[in-house]
Structure 1
């Protein structure tokens, strides 16, 4: 699917989110990457094979966990 040189990461690569967007719809909260991955603004993903990747937002920097 990707025509870029060098080629973007494939949908099954660990760095698949580094592929270039071919459609971007921020008003709807999603982007289609050139490797076929649908990337959602909450960091969830839908892979071309139908596999769902749950959102995986990092903790904000400077956030400290409180002891119980």
Structure 2
């Protein structure tokens, strides 16, 4: 996929990949497609355009960290 935004959105492999513009959003299904080809899921995981996987990366809350 090619981004036409100015400035260009980060690539799907960049560390700030989730900053790209949303091109399709389906909250009832729990996913969104970004202009860099990244398919983001509501659990914070993602699917890269090449089929690679970004595991969920939810922040650990203070309560969860204290009980660990």
After TM superposition, the score normalised by the length of structure 1 is: 0.89
Q: Show the counterpart of 1:23.
A: 24
Point out 4+ residue stretches in structure 1 off by more than 3 angstroms. none
For each residue in 1:5-63, what CA deviation from the matched residue of structure 2 results, as whole angstroms up to 9, or x when unmatched?
00000011010001010000000000000000000000000000000111110023x43
Q: Show the counterpart of 1:55.
A: 56
What is the CA distance between 1:66 and its match in structure 2? 3.8
Gaps spanning 5+ residues in structure 1: where?
none
Q: Show the counterpart of 2:33.
A: 32
Q: Show the counterpart of 2:45.
A: 44
How many residue pairs match? The answer is 66
